[in-house]
Amino acid sequence: MLRHPAHLVALGFGAGLSPKAPGTVGTLWAWGVFTLMQNLFTEMQWGVLIAASVVVGWWVCSITAQHMQVLDPGSIVWDEIAAFWLVLWLVTPCNGWQQLLAFGLFRLFDATKPGPVRWADQLYHGVDPATDPAAWYKAGWGIMLDDLVAAFCTLGVIAVWRAW
């Protein structure tokens, strides 16, 4: 984790090293950090932070996957962190129970990968680093993309629930 700064970020500052359910641990880490930092930033600053988290996430996921020589390592959790920050930012203001619901929905979509999440997850799994010079950048984007789609699915369910 400490061999390259990208690994530290991609592995969620250690959250991804959990021997069980690293994606869930990464999402919990994201929730905790969001809760601690929620009032430190304006809405615009949160938007910029999340947008930067996605762009930086693409890079750190690409570099870490390449160094691990695995297209989508389970220990990379920055994708969960950036995507769940997006969810929490867009559903706020909400109470702890609503955040728990958002957490459960996001984990459900991310773990079960229904329809569009599965499509996003599989989009770059066929890249071949031996023949495609951009394979690791495609893999990094693929790592980020399925969690962003899971975030939008979560937000869609919450929007329907709130409208109802």
- Mean pLDDT for all residues in the chain: 95
Alpha-carbon Rg for the chain, nearest whole angstrom, is 15
Res 2 pLDDT > 80: no
Q: Is the pTM of this model over 0.75?
A: yes
Question: Which residues neighbour 12 within 8 Å (Cβ) at sequence distance 6 or greater?
Answer: 22, 25, 26, 29, 30, 77, 78, 80, 81
d(CA 62, CA 86): 21
Here the tokens at position 3 are 């061999």
Interval 30-86: pLDDT, tens: 999 999 999 999 999 999 999 999 999 999 999 999 999 999 999 999 999 999 999
